[in-house]
Chains A and B, each alone.
Chain A
């Protein structure tokens, strides 16, 4: 009955960790399976799918997979993915922050119309605008290069714009007004007040943008022709051919490798999520 405060806290902490840890194992099991499979012999994967551990650990899949296709190795594909995902992320994060501020804090004519356009663009499946878009980019002479994939990212992405809007709306307006009293323009308010405060949303945008661009194969499929320019996501598709036969071992190996960069990005970025507004001490 008379359990001390300290002991009670310790008990809660143990329960918390046991529960979180156990649940984490459940969450991660399928991934472990995938990583393990990447060390199995490629013909073994389906026969011994029920067992987690490979009969013998073999790096063969990694060696075969890394070789890539027709002399184009995964070193090339990884480099391409970094270029595409990196540039796209920079473009998307910056432009979406700017646009988000406009929608969140400023009043102007037809604001709702443009906002609706943005949501509409989020709702329309890419597949049905793919053909017309291809023709436009073809007219511009961009097909075959990274331009159709990267350039649109510099004009804001609906998801991130919307995310920033929600975050900016969560910031007390008194801050803006105080700054305006001090003679700040809307531009300097954005740059000096808002931007530092929406760091969590910028970091989130960056993590997502990098991941989505890294995983996106559809635009690479449509717009790229030269295998020298293929990104990892697209190259991964080429291990499987339902009409002839697939090298699942190599695919698992390269799929596992392709997770490493997005995971590292997440690990480095998530630190900035932790030190959010709370630590900067804004009064609510």
Chain B
């Protein structure tokens, strides 16, 4: 580099030290380490500690050993119920959302006069997040006299289903909400697609590959780091999903839409059992962590990183 002016000899050694990957690595991640130790590590350790106590926030915690975990696994049928509900939600919403996001991203990666407009429109549902406004909105869409039923009538299906009231359909209103808000994953896919070099496509076209072959031979493999990222991230998000259940359905009916995090929150704050809430949180971290670890281990098999060759 041209403007790399030759520094005095004494400093050069420091520069060399700093240029060693082992040192430079720490220089780069130093902000993270500081932030982690200052704002996260202690609260995390404490919340783990609380999980072994009876703690109602207002009173001093009392150590009770593994009691919370024992109650959780053997004495609280609702715990397994909400765990099941959450697993079901994750199992369907995550893959469906990702497929949707990828499909639309493929559709929109083409540059046309309207592509900016389309991108905006498809992204819009995601910007409204999950506020109280969405809660009202979503309940209206799926109400007995709502637009979903009206549309079903138009195409000749029974249009009088109380989607939010039936124990077998209520969770699907939330899954559909998750799919509807695919915008953030779509955006990441879009930027991933943009990172794929055009020369690859040019070469493939010269070799006579058609659109479908190009998708499977180039797009998909080159996109695997992005897919991997979205998968991990949506998995974590899926388990952490809170507002949908908390604001829209409040777990109704019959707790079929009661998410794990909502029950954890209710325990921590509504029932004043923060100790139990912490135990629930750490069990979730364990489960999500395990799934993430498994995904990371499978990475070598299917995720293609340019940097590795």
Task: Report the Cα distance A262→B128, complex, angstroms.
Answer: 9
Q: How far is the CB of B171 from chain A (nearest CB, A)?
A: 19
Tell me whether A125 and B121 are in contact in the complex, defined as CB-CB below 8 angstroms, given that A109-B22, A166-B225, A170-B195 are known contacts.
Answer: no
Mark each residue of chain A from 82 to 106: 1 if its CB lies under 8 Å from any CB of chain B, else 0. Answer: 0000000000000100110111111
Residue of B nearest to A50 (CB): B145
Residue of A20, A121, A262 touching B40 (CB-CB under 8 A): A121
Tell me whether A124 and B44 are in contact in the complex, defined as CB-CB below 8 angstroms, given that A154-B35, A277-B195, A284-B200 are known contacts.
Answer: yes
How many residues on the A side are at the interface (Cβ–Cβ under 8 A)?
A: 102
Asked if B125 contacts A30 (CB within 8 A), the reply is: yes
A2 within 8 A of B: no
Specify which of A33, A123, A156, A208 lies most central, judged by the most chain B CB atoms within 10 Å of its CB. A123
Task: Report the Cα distance A18→B23, complex, angstroms.
Answer: 56
Residue of A31, A124, A185, A263 touching B281 (CB-CB under 8 A): A124
Q: How far is the CB of A161 from chain B (nearest CB, A)?
A: 7
Q: Which residues of A contact B292 (CB under 8 A)?
A: 119, 123
Q: Chain A's interface: helix, strand, loop or mixed, by majority?
A: helix
B60 within 8 A of A: no
Q: Which residues of B contact A223 (CB under 8 A)?
A: none
Residue of A128, A152, A267, A284 touching B197 (CB-CB under 8 A): A284
Q: How far is the CB of A183 from chain B (nearest CB, A)?
A: 6
Task: Report the Cα distance A135→B248, complex, angstroms.
Answer: 31
Residue of B4, B43, B184, B200 touching A188 (CB-CB under 8 A): B4
Asked if B236 contacts A123 (CB within 8 A), the reply is: yes
CB interface residues, A 186-212, toward B, < 8 Å: 186-188, 190, 192, 200-201, 203-204, 207-208, 211
Task: Report the Cα distance A214→B212, complex, angstroms.
Answer: 40
CB interface residues, B 293-309, toward A, < 8 Å: 305-309
Q: Which residues of B contact A121 (CB under 8 A)?
A: 36, 40, 44
A132 within 8 A of B: yes
Q: How far is the CB of B103 from chain A (nearest CB, A)?
A: 10
B229 within 8 A of A: yes
Q: Which residues of B contact A275 (CB under 8 A)?
A: 194
Task: Report the Cα distance A136→B37, complex, angstroms.
Answer: 12
Q: How large is the interface on B (under 10, 10 to 19, 20 to 34, 35 or more residues)?
A: 35 or more
Tell me whether A156 and B140 are in contact in the complex, defined as CB-CB below 8 angstroms, given that A169-B307, A259-B127 are known contacts.
Answer: no
A11 within 8 A of B: no
Q: Which residues of A contact B94 (CB under 8 A)?
A: none
Asked if A215 contacts B39 (CB within 8 A), the reply is: no
Q: Which residues of A contact B123 (CB under 8 A)?
A: 266, 270
Q: Which residues of A contact B91 (CB under 8 A)?
A: none
Tell me whether A118 and B36 are in contact in the complex, defined as CB-CB below 8 angstroms, given that A124-B44, A284-B200 are known contacts.
Answer: yes
Tell me whether A136 and B1 are in contact in the complex, defined as CB-CB below 8 angstroms, given that A30-B138, A266-B123 are known contacts.
Answer: no
Asked if A155 contacts B307 (CB within 8 A), the reply is: no
Q: Chain B's interface: helix, strand, loop or mixed, by majority?
A: helix
B64 within 8 A of A: no
Asked if A107 contacts B25 (CB within 8 A), the reply is: yes
A168 within 8 A of B: yes
Asked if B191 contacts A204 (CB within 8 A), the reply is: yes
Residue of A nearest to B291 (CB): A123
A111 within 8 A of B: yes
Q: How far is the CB of B33 from chain A (nearest CB, A)?
A: 7
Task: Report the Cα distance A275→B232, complex, angstroms.
Answer: 26
CB interface residues, B 83-123, toward A, < 8 Å: 107-108, 111-112, 114-116, 118-123
Task: Report the Cα distance A190→B131, complex, angstroms.
Answer: 39
Residue of B nearest to A132 (CB): B43
Could you name 29 residue pairs across A and B whose Cβ atoms are closer than 8 Å? A16-B107, A17-B114, A24-B121, A27-B121, A30-B141, A31-B124, A49-B143, A106-B24, A107-B21, A123-B239, A127-B269, A133-B39, A136-B42, A152-B39, A163-B188, A169-B307, A170-B192, A185-B18, A188-B1, A200-B190, A204-B191, A236-B131, A252-B136, A255-B128, A270-B116, A276-B195, A278-B197, A282-B197, A284-B306
Binding site for B on A (CB under 8 A): 13, 16-17, 20, 24, 27-31, 33-34, 49-50, 95, 98-99, 101-109, 111, 114, 117-125, 127-129, 131-133, 136, 152, 154-156, 159, 161-163, 166-173, 182-188, 190, 192, 200-201, 203-204, 207-208, 211, 215, 233, 236-237, 240, 248, 251-252, 255, 259, 262-263, 266-267, 270-271, 273-278, 281-284
Q: Which 5 A-B pairs have the closest CB atoms?
A: A155-B35, A276-B194, A102-B28, A108-B25, A200-B191
